[in-house]
């Protein structure tokens, strides 16, 4: 249960407790006024001291009907008051303990993370990245210094930490030693540089993607140790131009790369050292007919990309196949490649 949900539950419990007490007081006041002919204040006073078991001399001068009413009022009123008190007490205890329990639970989940992404930045770019990871079931943890941004991430059910992403102790805490990669999507290039430098000092082999605000920033981030640098503005402008000039091509790429499309997907699959596909050609391994996928390209272990490879192209250990196909077919190929 999130912090907001716990607060709403506490508010409902408090409202119910107040309503129950008000009903008991109203019933008691009206009853004594009608049966004994007392004033409203005397009837309310007698109801309060009766329900709270304090006692009053007025209770000794009741009529027979008043005594019966008092017995029923005390049976129902004392129980109702005790129940209302329990609701309030439970709400107070829960409001104190719930944040601590949630914090301990998040700490255990973070400590158990493996093969995850560290997402530095919970702004507009970070929000889109987190949404995509969430849809694809990719484990990740968000790091940001903005408490409101962190609370928004927690409200969406994400793992999030309010801290400086350039702190070594923080990166160790969120298991950078077992991370799949780090995404530097903080507000400025300078913040991203500090985060990358710290991460590189702890994990020289870590896959790091950085967001750049300018062309100069791209070079700085690469020098800091980023594996890839992405400029959202440049990509956005290129996307607009390509949509204007080649809308069908853009539609196809979006269809192939969108996680919302369950029938078709574009994926990269690594050739493992013990795979039966290693050191075999595409035609010899019968990739097209056996798995029903289209091999769009092969990225060699040194980063060179071969687009639309020939049928006799050899798949070597460490190569990345860029393939297009249905999810089940891609899973079969991934199992064979590993």
Assigned domain for 184 exists: yes
- Cβ(315)–Cβ(291) below 8 Å: no
Q: Which pLDDT score, from 0 to 100, does residue 196 have?
A: 94
Of 87 and 194, the one with more pLDDT: 194
Q: Which pLDDT score, from 0 to 100, does residue 56 have?
A: 57
Of 103 and 195, the one with more pLDDT: 195
The residue with tokens 């990166």 is 171
Write the pLDDT tens digit of every residue in 172-190: 999 999 999 999 999 899 9
Q: How many residues does the chain have?
A: 338
The sign of the CA dihedral 183, 185, 191, 193 is positive
Q: Which of 110, 128, 162 is where one domain is finished?
A: 110
Question: What is the distance between the alpha carbons of residues 163 and 155, in angstroms, rounded to a whole number?
Answer: 17
Q: How far is CA 85 from the centre of its chain?
A: 35
Q: Is the pLDDT of residue 286 over 80?
A: yes
Q: Which pLDDT score, from 0 to 100, does residue 92 have?
A: 66
Q: Which pLDDT score, from 0 to 100, does residue 221 have?
A: 93
The DSSP output letter for 335 is H
Share of the chain above pLDDT 90, in %: 23
By residue range, what is the domain housing residue 34?
Answer: 3-110
Three-state SS across 183-236?
EECCCCHHHHHHHHHHHHHHCCCCEEEEECCCHHHHHHHHHHCCCEEECHHHHH
Q: Classify residue 307 as left (phi > 0), alpha (psi -120 to 50) or beta.
A: beta
Q: Kindly state whether residues 155 and 105 are assigned to the same domain.
A: no
Q: Is the pLDDT of residue 278 over 60?
A: yes
Cα 94–Cα 99–Cα 104 angle in degrees, nearest 5: 120
Assigned domain for 210 exists: yes
The DSSP output letter for 313 is P
Structure tokens at 30: 């009206």
Q: Which pLDDT score, from 0 to 100, does residue 106 have?
A: 81
Q: Kindly state whether residues 174 and 220 are assigned to the same domain.
A: yes
Q: Kindly state whether residues 105 and 146 are assigned to the same domain.
A: no
Q: Kindly state whether residues 289 and 321 are assigned to the same domain.
A: yes
Assigned domain for 170 exists: yes
Assigned domain for 220 exists: yes
Q: Kindly state whether residues 19 and 105 are assigned to the same domain.
A: yes
Assigned domain for 242 exists: no
Helices (H), the chain: 3-36, 40-51, 64-111, 124-136, 147-155, 168-173, 189-202, 215-224, 232-245, 247-257, 282-285, 287-291, 327-337
The sign of the CA dihedral 23, 29, 30, 32 is positive
User: Phi and psi dihedrals of 220, rounded to 5?
Assistant: -65, -45
Q: Kindly state whether residues 186 and 227 are assigned to the same domain.
A: yes
Assigned domain for 245 exists: no
For 250, residues 6+ apart whose C-beta sits below 8 A from its C-beta are 239, 242, 243
Q: Kindly state whether residues 123 and 229 are assigned to the same domain.
A: yes
The upper half-sphere exposure of residue 225, i.e. CA atoms within 13 Å in the direction of its Cβ, equals: 21
Question: What is the distance between the alpha carbons of residues 324 and 288, in angstroms, rounded to a whole number?
Answer: 10
pLDDT category at 93 given cuts 50, 70, 90 is low
Find the mean pLDDT for residues 304-332: 86
Find the mean pLDDT for residues 74-100: 69
Q: Is the pLDDT of residue 139 over 90?
A: yes
Q: Kindly state whether residues 24 and 61 are assigned to the same domain.
A: yes
Mean model confidence pLDDT for the chain? 82
**Full-prediction pTM beyond 0.85?**
no
Task: Specify the number of domains making up the chain.
Answer: 3
For 61, residues 6+ apart whose C-beta sits below 8 A from its C-beta are none
Q: Is the pLDDT of residue 201 over 90?
A: yes
Q: Which pLDDT score, from 0 to 100, does residue 181 have?
A: 94
Q: Which of 110, 138, 167 is where one domain is finished?
A: 110
The DSSP output letter for 309 is -
Find the mean pLDDT for residues 314-322: 87
**Domain harbouring 90, CATH code:** 1.10.287.70
pLDDT category at 271 given cuts 50, 70, 90 is confident
Find the mean pLDDT for residues 317-322: 87
**Domain harbouring 164, CATH code:** 3.40.50.720
Q: Is the pLDDT of residue 6 over 70?
A: no
Assigned domain for 118 exists: yes
Question: What is the distance between the alpha carbons of residues 254 and 233, in angstroms, rounded to a whole number?
Answer: 18
Q: Kindly state whether residues 152 and 81 are assigned to the same domain.
A: no
Q: Which pLDDT score, from 0 to 100, does residue 75 have?
A: 75
Write the pLDDT tens digit of every residue in 35-57: 888 888 877 887 777 776 665 55
- Cβ(17)–Cβ(59) below 8 Å: no
Structure tokens at 81: 């008051």
Q: Which pLDDT score, from 0 to 100, does residue 10 have?
A: 63
Q: Which of 59, 84, 110 is where one domain is finished?
A: 110
Assigned domain for 254 exists: no
Q: Which pLDDT score, from 0 to 100, does residue 97 have?
A: 56
pLDDT category at 202 given cuts 50, 70, 90 is very high
Q: Kindly state whether residues 226 and 291 are assigned to the same domain.
A: no
**Domain harbouring 304, CATH code:** 3.30.70.1450
Q: Kindly state whether residues 186 and 159 are assigned to the same domain.
A: yes
Q: Kindly state whether residues 121 and 204 are assigned to the same domain.
A: yes
């Amino acid at each position: 249960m999130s912090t907001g949900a716990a607060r709403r539950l506490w508010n409902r419990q408090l409202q119910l407790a107040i309503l129950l007490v008000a009903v008991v007081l109203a019933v008691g006041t009206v009853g004594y006024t009608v049966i004994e002919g007392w004033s409203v204040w005397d009837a309310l006073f007698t109801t309060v001291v009766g329900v709270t078991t304090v006692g009053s001399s007025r209770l000794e001068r009741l009529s027979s009907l008043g005594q019966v009413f008092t017995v029923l009022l005390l049976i129902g009123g004392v129980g109702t008051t005790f129940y209302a008190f329990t609701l309030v007490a439970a709400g107070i205890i829960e409001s104190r303990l719930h944040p601590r329990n949630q914090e301990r639970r998040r700490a255990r989940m973070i400590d158990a993370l493996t093969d995850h992404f560290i997402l530095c930045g919970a702004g507009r770019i970070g929000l889109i990245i987190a949404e995509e990871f969430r849809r694809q079931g990719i484990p990740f943890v968000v790091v940001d210094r903005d408490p409101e941004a962190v609370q928004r991430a927690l409200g969406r059910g994400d793992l999030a930490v309010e801290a400086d992403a350039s702190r070594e102790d923080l990166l160790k805490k969120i298991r950078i030693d077992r991370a799949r990669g780090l995404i530097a999507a903080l507000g400025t290039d300078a913040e991203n540089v500090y985060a990358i430098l710290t991460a590189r000092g702890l994990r020289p082999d870590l896959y790091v993607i950085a967001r750049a605000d300018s062309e100069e920033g791209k070079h700085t981030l690469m020098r800091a140790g980023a594996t890839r640098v992405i400029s959202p503005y440049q990509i956005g402008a290129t996307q607009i131009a390509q949509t204007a000039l080649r809308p069908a091509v853009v539609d196809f790429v979006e269809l192939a790369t969108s996680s919302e499309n369950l029938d078709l997907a574009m994926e990269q699959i690594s050739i493992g050292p013990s795979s039966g596909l290693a050191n075999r050609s595409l035609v010899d391994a019968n990739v097209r007919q056996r798995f029903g996928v289209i091999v769009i390209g092969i990225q060699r272990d040194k980063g060179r990309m071969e687009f639309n490879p020939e049928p006799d192209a050899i798949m070597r250990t460490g190569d990345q196949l860029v393939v297009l196909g249905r999810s089940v077919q891609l899973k079969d190929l991934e199992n064979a490649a590993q």
